[in-house]
């Protein structure tokens, strides 16, 4: 009885989460532009993702922005996390505390506060502003995923390497960095998904005419006529499948590590 | 040569100095922007220090109504998320087999798919049933719950699965029934996860107008939309900043209540 109840709850919750996604998946394989209308099996929407210049540009722009901002954030956040971990004075505390602000603050507040700053220094809406905005948003999450690794690290290995003649820089690169590497990787991956996900920062800081998937889909949702909204069904399906593949690979790797 | 040695003596680079680049970055792009918001909130268009923006906000029924509606919608959404996520997280945390890793994954994965695309998916589904145009507020709440549910599941699962079960065993050994064990032991011990989940859902709900615009057919205005209107077409940064300032205050209050953001329970899924 109790077990049946558990199965029921889990099943209903999963249906709630996946029904919309599966619906999109199904209707991405038809050429019909109206949702819920099936006009025969076709790959047209998928072909359009590649062949239509406008969609291709949006996807590529989104990806480049995500890769650029995630890379910078990962470097800045990793260095920052090491600094926070070893700086026991006020500066370390200050950095750690203010790093949490973009995490708990409403994204729109972060976005408009940055827009105000960039307006003052007349950088206005530019790619640089957009990039910095994304870095502001992503870096705290990199810090949050690197810091626990630093705490788990065996501190004596660093001292040992110094005793054995390594310079502090060498010790940092050859001893500390390899130990926190998994945290850096997961921070980087998280940063990419956060940048891909972002709507608010992008809206307020992007240069005119620049669109990411988020801003484009939001615009298309309010004005669906003549938009590429149907193609976005195909795009969602592709992203979904990529997610599943990455997930399976990662969990496979993890179970392998555990079994070792 | 002499000079170089001197410099090295005066300032020796240590790992603690690695703080600097990020600290400077934070001062310019996090602290300074917030100060600017405060400045705009407390000055009039002519640049004088004044409270007129606050008076404007709190004397207009439209803005107070928007604030109340936002808080109401967010509370309702947060509550429904908790109502769904708690049993789910509880069941997953108590599963003995390895199945729960895959199941947890299924619940968390939507977090990593673009949230506007997810909103689109739910909207298309609701459109098929004709819910969107008829029931603006209902569909807005459904949309919000749909988008924020994973953020509630993860912290709850983390807390519940790390919970020390010996307390529960002790309680039931001492004669407490199952309901009592849950209300007196399990739930209080999982409060950290509950609070962490609430922080992840409540404020984004109030401010992210993407969902209310998508699901509310333009009839549901939340406080985030209000900011957008004053920064965009309204073109009054002082009014916009006042609303942002109020949101910052709400953020601080909720941080006080929930004890801040703990790094051990990173709610965006790096812990997986």
The predicted structure's pLDDT at residue A45:
86
Same domain flag for A148 and A227: no
Q: What percentage of chain B carries pLDDT values higher than 70?
A: 89
Verify whether the Cβ–Cβ distance B124 to A17 is below 8 Å. no
- For A193, the token pair is 């998904």
Kindly provide the ipTM of the predicted complex, given to two decimals.
0.88
Q: Does A36 touch chain B (CB under 8 A)?
A: yes
If pLDDT is split at 50, 70 and 90, which confidence band does B258 have?
low
How far apart CA A10 and CA B92 sit, in angstroms, is 9
> Looking at CA atoms only, how far is residue B245 from chain A in angstroms?
8
With CA atoms as reference, the chain A residue closest to B199 would be A104
Same domain flag for A78 and A108: yes
Q: Does B253 touch chain A (CB under 8 A)?
A: no
Residues of B in contact with A79 (CB under 8 A): 18, 21-22
Task: Report mean pLDDT in 10-residue bins for chain A, 260 residues.
Answer: 83 93 89 78 86 91 96 96 89 90 90 91 88 96 92 85 85 88 92 92 92 92 84 89 82 66
- Kindly state whether residue B48 falls inside one of the protein's structural domains: no
**Range B59-65, long-range pairs (CB < 8 A, 24+ positions):** B63/B226, B63/B243
* B1 pLDDT higher than 50: no
- Kindly state whether residue A96 falls inside one of the protein's structural domains: yes
* B2 pLDDT higher than 50: no
Average pLDDT over residues B54-83: 91
Same domain flag for A146 and A231: no
With CA atoms as reference, the chain B residue closest to A142 would be B270
- Kindly state whether residue B30 falls inside one of the protein's structural domains: no
* B202 pLDDT higher than 80: yes
How far apart CA B147 and CA B73 sit, in angstroms, is 14
Which residue is listed with tokens 């820089």? Answer: A169
Residues of A in contact with B239 (CB under 8 A): none
Helix (H) or strand (E) holding A260: none
The vertex-B242 CA angle with A126 and B229, nearest 5°, equals: 55
Verify whether the Cβ–Cβ distance A104 to B125 is below 8 Å. no
- Local structure of B43: helix, strand or coil: strand
The domain tally of chain B equals 1
The predicted structure's pLDDT at residue A154:
82
The predicted structure's pLDDT at residue B236:
82
Best B233, B260, B263, B264 member to test A by mutation, with max A CBs in 10 Å, is B263
Verify whether the Cβ–Cβ distance A199 to B110 is below 8 Å. no
Across A182-196, B118-132, B220-234, which has the greatest mean pLDDT? Answer: A182-196
Per-residue b/e over A122-157, b at no fewer than 16 CB within 10 Å? ebebbeebbbbbbbbbbbbbbbbbbbbbbeebeeee
Of B150, B247, B269, the CB nearest to A106: B247
If pLDDT is split at 50, 70 and 90, which confidence band does B271 have?
very low
> Looking at CA atoms only, how far is residue B59 from chain A in angstroms?
22
Domain that holds residue B156: 60-265
Domain that holds residue A106: 62-152+182-221
Same domain flag for A132 and A246: no
Of B36, B120, B123, the CB nearest to A113: B36
The predicted structure's pLDDT at residue B85:
94
Of B113, B116, B268, the CB nearest to A243: B113
- Kindly state whether residue B47 falls inside one of the protein's structural domains: no
Verify whether the Cβ–Cβ distance B25 to A100 is below 8 Å. no
**Residue pairs spanning A and B at CB distance below 8 A:** 259
Comparing CA positions, the residue from A198, A88, A191 lying closest to residue B204 is A198
- Domain containing B117 — which CATH number? 1.10.3720.10
The predicted structure's pLDDT at residue A146:
93
The predicted structure's pLDDT at residue B99:
72
- Kindly state whether residue B106 falls inside one of the protein's structural domains: yes
Residues of B in contact with A86 (CB under 8 A): 14-16, 18
How far apart CA A216 and CA B101 sit, in angstroms, is 34
């Amino acid at each position: 009885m109790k077990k049946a109840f558990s199965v029921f709850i889990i099943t209903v919750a999963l249906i709630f989460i996946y029904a919309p996604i599966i619906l999109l998946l199904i209707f991405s394989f038809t050429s019909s532009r109206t949702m819920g209308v099936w006009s025969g099996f076709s790959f047209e929407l998928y072909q359009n993702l590649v062949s239509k210049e406008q969609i291709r540009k949006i996807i590529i722009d989104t990806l480049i922005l995500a890769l650029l901002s995630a890379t910078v954030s990962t470097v800045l956040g990793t260095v920052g996390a090491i600094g926070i971990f070893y700086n026991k004075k006020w500066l370390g505390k200050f950095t750690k505390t203010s790093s949490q602000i973009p995490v708990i603050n409403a994204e729109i507040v972060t976005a408009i506060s940055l827009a105000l700053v960039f307006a003052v220094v007349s950088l206005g809406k530019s790619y640089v502003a957009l990039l910095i905005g994304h870095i502001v948003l992503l870096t705290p999450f990199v810090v949050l995923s690197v810091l626990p690794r630093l705490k788990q690290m065996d501190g004596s290995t660093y001292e040992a390497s110094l005793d054995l003649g390594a310079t502090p820089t060498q010790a940092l690169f050859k001893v500390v960095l390899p130990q926190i590497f998994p945290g850096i990787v997961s921070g980087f991956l998280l940063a990419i998904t956060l940048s891909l996900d972002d709507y608010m920062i992008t809206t307020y800081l992007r240069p005119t005419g620049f669109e990411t998937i988020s801003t484009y889909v939001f615009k298309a949702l309010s004005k669906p006529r003549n938009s590429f909204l149907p193609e976005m069904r195909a795009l969602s399906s592709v992203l979904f499948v990529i997610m599943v593949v990455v997930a399976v690979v990662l969990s496979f790797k993890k179970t392998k590590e555990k079994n070792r | 040569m002499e000079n170089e040695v001197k410099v090295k003596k005066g300032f020796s680079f240590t790992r603690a100095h690695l703080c600097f680049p990020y600290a400077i970055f934070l001062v310019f792009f996090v602290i300074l922007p917030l100060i600017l918001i405060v400045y705009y909130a407390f000055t009039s268009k002519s640049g004088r220090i004044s409270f007129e923006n606050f008076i404007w906000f709190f004397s207009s029924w439209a803005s107070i109504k928007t604030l109340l509606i936002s808080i109401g919608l967010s509370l309702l959404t947060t509550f429904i998320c908790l109502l769904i996520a708690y049993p789910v997280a509880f069941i997953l945390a108590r599963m003995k087999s390895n199945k729960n890793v895959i199941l947890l994954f299924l619940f968390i994965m939507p977090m990593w798919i673009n949230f506007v695309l997810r909103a689109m998916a739910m909207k298309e589904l609701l459109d098929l049933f004709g819910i969107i145009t008829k029931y603006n507020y209902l569909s807005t709440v459904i949309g919000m719950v749909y988008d924020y549910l994973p953020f509630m599941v993860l912290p709850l699962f983390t807390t519940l699965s790390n919970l020390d079960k010996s307390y529960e065993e002790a309680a039931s050994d001492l004669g407490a029934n199952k309901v009592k064990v849950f209300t007196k032991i399990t739930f209080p011990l999982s409060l950290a996860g509950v609070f962490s989940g609430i922080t992840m859902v409540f404020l984004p709900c109030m401010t992210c107008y993407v969902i209310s615009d998508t699901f509310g057919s333009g009839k549901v205005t939340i406080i985030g939309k209000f900011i957008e209107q004053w920064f965009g077409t309204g073109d009054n940064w002082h009014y916009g900043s006042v609303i942002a300032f109020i949101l910052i205050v709400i953020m601080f209050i909720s941080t006080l209540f929930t004890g801040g953001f703990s790094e051990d329970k990173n709610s965006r899924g790096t812990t997986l």
